[in-house]
C-alpha cells in the first residue's frame, strides 16, 4: 500500500491545525461516530481498531469517556504516532492503547477480532483502487461478524460540476480563516493532484466487495463524506 504523504514533526502539528479548517465539523464528526459506536456496542468491554491513528484524535475523543473501550491504532508515520502516544499519556489512557507503526497489513492476524473499526481521512491518500480495496478487505478480516465500521474520505466525480461546487465551499473555509486567495488556490490545485477522489458509487462498491453490508452515508462536509456499514 502506497501512501502519498509523509509527515515530519512540524507537518504533523500543522496537520492538526489545518484539519479543523478543512473540516469545520471535525470535532462534531468524532462525537457523531462515538454516539454511533456507543449505540452499537452498548456498555460491554469493546476493542476498537483505528486505521490512521496518528495524531491521536480518535483516542482523545473516545478514550476518556468510554473506559470499557481499548484501542489498537495503526499508522505508517512515526511523528504522527508520537502525537497519538503523547495524547494517550496526557489523558491517562495509555494502558488501553496499543499503537503500531506500519500499515493495516502489518497487524498480526492472531490478535483476535475487533468489535468496531474506523478509518477517518485515510483512504483518499491511496491512489490505486486495488490498494484501497485491499485496505478495506484487511479491516473486514480483523472484525467480528456484524461489527460496525466507519469510513470517512474525500469523494466525488472529478468530471462533474457537483464536486467543483463542493470544492468551492471548501475553499471558502480557508479564505474565511484569513488565508490569501492565491495561497488557497495553490493549495486546492495541489490537493486535487495529491488526493484520490472516487464517486460515491465506487466507494460503496469497494465496501461491498470488501465484505461490508448496510452501507449508508451519514455525513458530508465540503469534499468529504462518511459512511457507516457492518462486517458480514
Q: How far apart are CA 212 and CA 204, in angstroms?
A: 9
**Tell me, what's the pLDDT at 109?**
79
| The three three-digit cell numbers of residue 93, written as one number | 489512557
Selection from 79, 65, 71 nearest residue 34 by Cα: 65
Global confidence as pTM: 0.92
| The three three-digit cell numbers of residue 39, written as one number | 449505540
Selection from 225, 125, 224 nearest residue 170 by Cα: 224
Identify the three-state secondary structure at position 220.
Answer: strand
* Domain 9-156+197-231, classified CATH 3.40.50.150, yes or no: yes
**Tell me, what's the pLDDT at 4?**
44
Ordered per-residue pLDDT tens for the chain, 232 residues: 444 444 455 555 566 678 889 999 999 999 999 999 999 999 999 999 999 999 999 999 999 999 999 999 999 999 999 999 999 999 999 999 999 999 999 998 766 899 999 999 999 999 999 999 999 999 999 999 999 999 999 999 998 899 999 999 999 999 999 999 999 999 999 988 899 999 999 999 999 999 999 999 999 999 999 999 999 9
Sequence ranges of the domains in the chain: 9-156+197-231
In sequence order, the 6+-apart residues with CB closer than 8 A to the CB of 39 are none
Amino acid at each position: 500500500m502506497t501512501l502519498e504523504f509523509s509527515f515530519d514533526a512540524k507537518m504533523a502539528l500543522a496537520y492538526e491545525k489545518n484539519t479543523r479548517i478543512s473540516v469545520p465539523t471535525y470535532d462534531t464528526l468524532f462525537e457523531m461516530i462515538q454516539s454511533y459506536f456507543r449505540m452499537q456496542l452498548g456498555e460491554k468491554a469493546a476493542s476498537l481498531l483505528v486505521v490512521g491513528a496518528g495524531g491521536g484524535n480518535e483516542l482523545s475523543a473516545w478514550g476518556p469517556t468510554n473506559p470499557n473501550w481499548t484501542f489498537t491504532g495503526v499508522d505508517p508515520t512515526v511523528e504522527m504516532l508520537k502525537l497519538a502516544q503523547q495524547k494517550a499519556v496526557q489523558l491517562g489512557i495509555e494502558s488501553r492503547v496499543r499503537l503500531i507503526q506500519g500499515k493495516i497489513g502489518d497487524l498480526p492476524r492472531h490478535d483476535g477480532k475487533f468489535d468496531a473499526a474506523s478509518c477517518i481521512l485515510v483512504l483518499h491518500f491511496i491512489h490505486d483502487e486495488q490498494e484501497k480495496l485491499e485496505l478495506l478487505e484487511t479491516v473486514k478480516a480483523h472484525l467480528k461478524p456484524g461489527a460496525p465500521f466507519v469510513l470517512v474520505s474525500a469523494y466525488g466525480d472529478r468530471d462533474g460540476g457537483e464536486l467543483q461546487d463542493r470544492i468551492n465551499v471548501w475553499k471558502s473555509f480557508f479564505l474565511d480563516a484569513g488565508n490569501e486567495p492565491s495561497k488557497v488556490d495553490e493549495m486546492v490545485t495541489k490537493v486535487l493532484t495529491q488526493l484520490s477522489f472516487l464517486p460515491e458509487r465506487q466507494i460503496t462498491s469497494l465496501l461491498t466487495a470488501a465484505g461490508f453490508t448496510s452501507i449508508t452515508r451519514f455525513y458530508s462536509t465540503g469534499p468529504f463524506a462518511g459512511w457507516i456499514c457492518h462486517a458480514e
